[in-house]
Each structure stands twice: as C-alpha cells, then as structure tokens.
C-alpha cells in the first residue's frame, strides 16, 4: 500500500499514476498463498511498458497459475528515481508495493539494445548487485537474492548481458516462462539453502528448449580478439540452445482482461495478434528470421478475442498485431467482418503494416473515411538494385501505383521509410530516395492540380544496424562520419516543396550495433557507462555520448586496443569472416548458417529470394517444426 512517505514523494513527481498500480483488471493475490513470485520488469517508463502486448500476454498466463504471482516493475523517470534514492526507497512492484529484492525472480524483457543501461539501473535501484558473481557471493553469505532472467528479441545475442543475468530465455515465452517459474518453486520447496536452491534450479532447467545459462559456457579469445572457442563447462548443458517455439498459437491463452492504465500510454487500445512470423525474407530484418515459421490464429478466434477484450477494457480502438497484417491468409474476410463488428460498437479499427493493394485501399478508405491520416510506405531503399540486395520484393511500379491510388482516394500525407548504410549502397541509391519523393509530388500534382497544395511527403531515414541471425550479420556498419555525410547529402537533395526529411541519431545507431553483435566483454563497456550516469539511452534528451565515449576509452586497454575508437571499430566497422565464430553461435534460432550465408551471397549478386509462401527456401526451420508452407 502507499504509505505516508511514498505519498509525499508521489505529490512531487510528474505523472504519479505511473507508480500507484490499482488499475482496472490488475491481478490481486495473497503473496503468502503462492509458491513463487516473479517481477516482470520492463526497462523503460510505464507508458512504454504498458503498451507492450508481450507483457500483458505473459502476465495473464502466469497469473492463471495459482502457484505463481506475476507482478510488474518499470523504470522510474528521473524525478521519481532521484526522490527514491534520496529517501532510500527501493524499486517496488505495482501490485503489492513489494521491494523488488524480496521477489524470487525478476524477469526483464529486452526489446531494444539501448535499454540495457536501464536493466543495470533497475537492479541497482532494487538494492541488488548488478553483477551476477556479486549476487552469488551475497547469497553464499545468507543474503536474500532473487534470480535475474531475461527474454525478448535482444537475447538472441545474450552475451553483452551475460555477466549480469542468471538465465536467458530464448524464443517464445508463453510455455517456457511458466515452466521456469514452476521449476524454481519446486527448487525452493526442496532447499532451504539459497545456494543449493540456485544450483538445483539451474541444473533442472538447463535442458529445456530456450534456456541459456551463461555460467555453463566459457568464451576463449584469440590474439586478434575474435572468439577462438565457446567451451561448455558442464555435461548437462546443451551444445547449442534450441529456441523455444509455440507451435500452435491458436491454442494458447491470449488475454482478454487486459490491464487498463489510468493515464495515456503509447498505444492505448485493444490488440489481438493474428499471426506470428514472416515469410518475406528481408535480409536486414531480424524479426523476420527469429520468429519463423508463420503460425496463424483462426479468424473465429481472433474475432472472439477482439470482442471480449473490447468488452472488458472499454477501449475505443482495436488493432491487429503481426509483422505484416495483410499477409494473413484470410485477411480479406477477417478485415471485412471486423470492420462490421467495430462499426456496430463505434470502435475504431487500426490495421498497421498493410500490403497496399486494391483491397487494402478499399479497407483503409472505409476505415478512415474523410478523415484520412498519413499513409505509410516502406521502400527501404531508393533503387531497385538495392531493394534486390536486401530482398525487399517491391518495384517502383508497386510504389507509384499505390501512391496513385492513395492520391485518387484523397490521402494528403504520404510517409516513406528508408534505411541508409545498407550493404552495397552507393550515392546513386540516395539519389533514388529523393527521386521517389519528387515523383510522388508530381503524381499528386498530375491528379489534383493546383488544389493539391496541401499534399505532404515525409521521408524518414534510419541507419542500418547489422543484427544477429540475419544474412547481414557478417557485414560492417557505416562509420558515424559516413552516416552524417549521407544525412547531409539527403538533406540537400530533399529540399523539395512539400517534403519533410527526418533521420535517426547516428551515435545511438552505432551503439545499438555494438550490443546487437557484441561478445561477453562488451558488458564491461555497458557497466562503465552506467556507473558514470547513462540511463534511458534511447531517449534523445537523456543520451550522453561523451560518457559513452569515455567508457570505450576506459575499456579499450583491458581488451588490448589502443583507444576507444579502435575498440568500437572492432565491433562495428569491420566485416566478420564467414568462418569466424560469432558470439551468438551457441543459440540455435532454427535458421541454418548455410542458409544465411547463401542469402548473403545472393545479396552480393543482387539476386532475390521469393516469399516462402510461394515455396520452401530451405532456411532450416522445417527441421525443427512444421512450416506454414
């Protein structure tokens, strides 16, 4: 409960509703009636964390089990953290206001590498040593210590956090996380000694698909700082950790009594996942690789979940969740029926990530009517050659044909998303970005003439970040000065009336790449930056590049590099050898290295690979689970 001191703190901070719990549909249990208590930790603010559907799903599944109590933890904003530290208040759960260090397990979901410093900060704010080795020592001295686990897309390369996290859960969490919690409950019941409990628990779960325990593996490095060997230290650990996969998502629980926050969140709406996975095979896209194969929910299940969720939450908007909504095999029928159901209840329907064909335009026209918001296209690259390199199987005819339909139907704002720094990119590809924007303005003028003056095009550019388990995992990233030069070049070329140009911060892209492909040693850089004040690095107003630069300089000598720039260059600006052992090679994401190398070689020849729905491309998934095709 909120005591007098906490009440006085909350009166002094922005958005106190972030910290009070008690929302509609919150789960209340007697902590003494359960066998294991877990804090689901989101390493960012409440508004962002409560918009993450994965938290709602796992919170619902865990709390259905009477032996488990799952509570929520979020990173407090700076004003709240300052007052908590001044008053000696530890990070607490929103369900029972229990200090985090009194829980059995703390589980972080890692959605973005730039949240890693917040993981360390939340551990410290909980009164816990951030390093696993220090927590083990404290445990041996009889001090209570929760075990720290982590999941999410970032743990497909778990190594940068290996010295801070006890257990990583790789892949789908709906079935795996419950098994892990119950295994801990059993170990807790069997052992009063915390060290023995931890030992038995880790040995029990080591054989589960999706469980990676870093201390069971030792990394040996060569003189050139590349990895020489990944050495298994215990016989019962797997040689490679096979990711956990839910084979039938239609049969697993999906929440319909979602927690409804008191304040606005980033996505304040009901959400239903239609399918998981993607078949398109874009070579830069990690999600398209690690979430294979495609698994669909039945249309009747989707409609039932949507209507129940709307009834239980009072939300006035429904959104469908997937990597590419209109790739759902029964999309036309589903969209038509949902439009009717939502219209009858005066609920807005949002269909993100559409393939903009004729049917999708009819759907969007009906949904948005006369109040047409911006329409989004993601060509990713400015020329067909580069789109072929990245396997983005769309043509200029596709782009301009879709734009023409949009203008004819009354859209006045087109948003274009591109990526720069892609393998094989030249300045002609940047010219192509400007040319696409210019032609779209011309199409509007051609169709609408002078009355088309309100028409706008927004060009947004992100920087290419090579990711693990993709065909581009071996590629070099552009240096900061190259990104800046390309941004400046595009800024000049996009000085077109009616066109707005936005681009992503360069230094954060380079840091993201360090931790996306870093080995175990990069945790030292992370720790050094956090110790000197880095948190909320994904937020422009909080990002402190000078501290990160100092952290690289401090750690360079430890790794045998001359300075921080040479250290950063090793992790970012060199191509990996095709025979090089990669830090994440102990993780089996189902996609074979042979397939990824084949896709890399096809990219070098600008050859495309067709969508998996048109026929199996032998990526390796079908060796482990049934494929959609």
* pLDDT computed for residue 365 by the predictor: 83
Encoding tokens for residue 424? 């094989």
Q: Are residues 392 and 507 in the same domain?
A: yes
* Residue 262 · residue 230 · CB < 8 Å: no
3-state SS track over 465-526: CCCCCCCCCCCCCCCHHHHHHHHHHHHHHCCCCCEEEEECCHHHHHHHHHHHCCCCCHHHHH
**Cα–Cα distances in Å, from 424 out to 416, 460, 524, 599, 609?**
21, 20, 33, 14, 17
Task: Answer yes or no: is pLDDT of 373 > 70.
Answer: no
Q: Among 225, 242, 259, give the residue marking a domain's end.
A: 242
Q: Are residues 212 and 284 in the same domain?
A: no
H/E element, 148: strand 147-151
Q: Are residues 329 and 417 in the same domain?
A: yes
CATH number at residue 205: 3.40.50.280
**Cα–Cα distances in Å, from 312 out to 62, 238, 300?**
19, 43, 18
Across 141-165, average pLDDT: 97
Q: Maximum CA pair distance of the chain? A: 79
Which pTM value belongs to this model?
A: 0.96
* Residue 310 · residue 302 · CB < 8 Å: no
Range in 207-216, 448-457, 474-483 the model is least confident about: 448-457
Q: What is the pLDDT of residues 405-458, one digit of tens each?
A: 989 888 889 999 999 999 999 999 999 999 999 999 999 999 988 665 689 999
Q: Are residues 124 and 187 in the same domain?
A: yes
Helix axes 53-64, 176-190, angle to 10 degrees: 40
Map residue 42 onto helix, strand or coil.
strand
Q: Are residues 200 and 306 in the same domain?
A: no
Q: Is residue 532 part of a domain?
A: no
φ and ψ at 566, to 5 degrees? Answer: -65, -35
Q: Are residues 114 and 43 in the same domain?
A: yes
d(CA 67, CA 64): 9
* Residue 46 · residue 268 · CB < 8 Å: no
**Nearest 5 degrees, angle CA 128-CA 134-CA 140?**
100
Encoding tokens for residue 607? 């050859």
**Residue, of 357 and 64, whose pLDDT is higher:** 64
Q: What is the pLDDT of residues 234-283, one digit of tens each?
A: 999 999 999 999 999 999 999 999 999 999 998 889 999 999 999 999 99
Q: Among 496, 517, 538, give the residue marking a domain's end.
A: 517
Summarize the chain as % helix, strand, coil (round to 5).
Answer: 45, 15, 40
Task: Answer yes or no: is pLDDT of 533 > 80.
Answer: yes
What is the β-pairing status of strands 317-321 and 348-350?
parallel
Q: Is residue 591 part of a domain?
A: no
**Nearest 5 degrees, angle CA 389-CA 392-CA 398?**
125
* pLDDT computed for residue 452 by the predictor: 59
Q: Is residue 75 part of a domain?
A: yes
Q: Is residue 531 part of a domain?
A: no
* pLDDT computed for residue 205 by the predictor: 98
d(CA 50, CA 269): 11
Task: Answer yes or no: is pLDDT of 470 > 80.
Answer: yes
Q: Is residue 542 part of a domain?
A: no
CATH number at residue 467: 3.80.30.20
Q: What is the pLDDT of residues 26-80, one digit of tens each?
A: 999 999 999 999 999 999 999 999 999 999 999 999 999 999 999 999 999 999 9
**pLDDT band for position 362 (50/70/90)?**
confident
Q: Are residues 59 and 149 in the same domain?
A: yes
* Residue 360 · residue 326 · CB < 8 Å: yes
* Residue 107 · residue 39 · CB < 8 Å: yes
Q: Among 517, 532, 556, give the residue marking a domain's end.
A: 517
Q: Are residues 192 and 275 in the same domain?
A: no
The domain in which residue 290 lies consists of 270-517
Instruction: Name the CA radius of gyration of the chain, rounded.
Output: 25
Instruction: Give percent of the chain with pLDDT exceeding 90.
Output: 89
H/E element, 121: helix 116-125
* Residue 158 · residue 15 · CB < 8 Å: no
Instruction: Give percent of the chain with pLDDT exceeding 70.
Output: 98
* Residue 115 · residue 108 · CB < 8 Å: no
- DSSP per residue over 256-286, as a string? SS--B-SS--SS-SEEEE-EE---S--TT-S
Q: What is the pLDDT of residues 556-597, one digit of tens each?
A: 999 999 999 999 999 999 999 999 999 999 999 999 999 999
Q: Are residues 421 and 475 in the same domain?
A: yes
Q: Is residue 606 part of a domain?
A: no
What is the sign of the dihedral through the CA atoms of 209, 212, 213 and 218?
Answer: positive
Q: Are residues 316 and 465 in the same domain?
A: yes
Q: What is the DSSP letter of 328?
A: S
Q: What is the mean pLDDT of the chain?
A: 95
* pLDDT computed for residue 303 by the predictor: 97
**Cα–Cα distances in Å, from 626 out to 204, 247, 528?**
28, 8, 44
Q: Are residues 201 and 284 in the same domain?
A: no
Q: Tell me the HSE value of 217 on the side-chain side, using a 13 A CA sphere.
A: 28
Q: Is residue 476 part of a domain?
A: yes
Q: Are residues 224 and 295 in the same domain?
A: no
Considering its fold, how many domains does the chain have in total? 2
d(CA 289, CA 391): 13
**Closest C-alpha among 229, 238, 250, 252 to residue 210:** 238
d(CA 143, CA 496): 64
User: Strands (DSSP E) along 188-262, which ranges?
Assistant: 211-212, 217-221, 227-232, 241-242
Task: Answer yes or no: is pLDDT of 164 > 80.
Answer: yes
Task: Answer yes or no: is pLDDT of 629 > 80.
Answer: no
**pLDDT band for position 372 (50/70/90)?**
low
Encoding tokens for residue 564? 């921080």
Encoding tokens for residue 457? 């095009």
Q: Is residue 258 part of a domain?
A: no
């Amino acid at each position: 409960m909120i005591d007098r001191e906490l009440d006085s703190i909350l009166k002094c901070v922005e958005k106190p509703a972030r910290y009070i719990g008690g929302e509609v549909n919150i789960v209340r249990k007697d902590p003494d009636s359960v066998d294991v208590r877990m804090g689901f930790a989101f390493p960012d603010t409440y508004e962002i964390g409560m918009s993450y559907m994965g938290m709602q799903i796992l919170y619902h599944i865990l709390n259905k089990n009477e032996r488990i109590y799952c509570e929520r933890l979020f990173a407090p904003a700076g004003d709240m953290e300052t007052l908590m530290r001044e008053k000696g208040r530890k990070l607490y759960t929103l369900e029972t206001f229990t200090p985090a260090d009194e829980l059995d397990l703390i589980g972080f979901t890692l959605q973005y590498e730039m949240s890693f410093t917040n993981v360390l900060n939340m551990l410290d704010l909980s009164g816990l040593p951030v390093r696993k080795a220090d927590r083990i020592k404290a445990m041996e001295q009889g001090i209570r210590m929760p075990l720290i686990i982590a999941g999410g897309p970032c743990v497909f390369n778990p190594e940068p956090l290996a010295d801070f996290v006890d257990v990583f859960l790789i892949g789908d969490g709906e079935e795996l996380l419950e098994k892990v919690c119950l295994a801990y409950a059993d170990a807790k019941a069997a052992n009063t000694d915390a060290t023995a409990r931890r030992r038995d628990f880790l040995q029990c779960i080591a054989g589960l698909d999706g469980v990676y325990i870093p201390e069971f593996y030792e990394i040996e490095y060569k003189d050139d700082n590349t990895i020489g060997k990944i050495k298994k230290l215990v016989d019962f650990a797997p040689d490679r950790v096979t990711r956990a996969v839910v084979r039938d998502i239609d049969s697993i629980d999906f929440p319909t009594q979602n927690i409804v926050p008191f304040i606005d969140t980033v996505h304040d709406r009901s959400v239903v996942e239609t399918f998981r996975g993607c078949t398109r095979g874009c070579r830069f896209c990690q999600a398209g690789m690690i979430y294979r194969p495609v698994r669909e929910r039945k249309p009747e299940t989707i409609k039932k979940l949507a209507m129940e969720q709307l009834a239980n939450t009072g939300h006035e908007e429904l959104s469908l969740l997937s990597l590419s909504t209109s790739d759902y095999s029964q999309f036309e029928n589903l969209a038509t029926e949902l439009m009717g159901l939502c219209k009858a209840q005066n609920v807005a329907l949002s269909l993100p990530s559409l393939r903009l064909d004729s049917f999708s335009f009819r759907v969007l026209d009906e949904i948005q009517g006369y109040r047409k918001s911006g329409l989004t296209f993601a060509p990713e690259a400015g020329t067909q050659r580069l789109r072929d390199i990245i396997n983005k199987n769309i043509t200029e005819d596709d782009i301009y044909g879709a734009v023409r339909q949009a203008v004819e139907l009354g859209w006045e704002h087109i948003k274009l998303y591109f990526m720069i720094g892609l393998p094989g990119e030249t300045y002609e590809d940047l010219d192509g970005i400007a040319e696409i924007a210019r032609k779209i303005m011309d199409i509007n003028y051609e169709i609408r003439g002078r009355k088309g003056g309100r028409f706008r095009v927004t060009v947004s550019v992100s920087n290419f970040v090579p990711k693990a388990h993709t065909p581009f995992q071996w590629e070099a990233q552009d240096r900061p000065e190259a990104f800046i030069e390309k941004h400046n070049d595009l800024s000049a070329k996009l000085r077109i009336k009616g066109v707005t140009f936005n681009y992503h911060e360069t230094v954060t892209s380079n840091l993201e790449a360090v931790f996306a492909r870093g080995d175990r040693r990069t945790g030292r850089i992370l720790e050094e930056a956090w110790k000197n004040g880095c948190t909320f690095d994904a937020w422009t107003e909080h990002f402190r590049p000078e501290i990160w630069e100092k952290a690289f300089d401090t750690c360079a000598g430890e790794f045998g590099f001359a300075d921080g720039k040479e250290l950063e260059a090793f992790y970012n600006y060199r191509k990996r050898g095709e025979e090089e052992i990669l830090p994440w090679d102990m993780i089996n994401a189902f996609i074979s290295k042979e397939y990824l190398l084949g896709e890399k070689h096809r990219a070098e020849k600008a050859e495309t690979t067709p969508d998996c729905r048109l026929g199996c491309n032998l990526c390796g998934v079908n060796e482990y689970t049934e494929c959609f095709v």
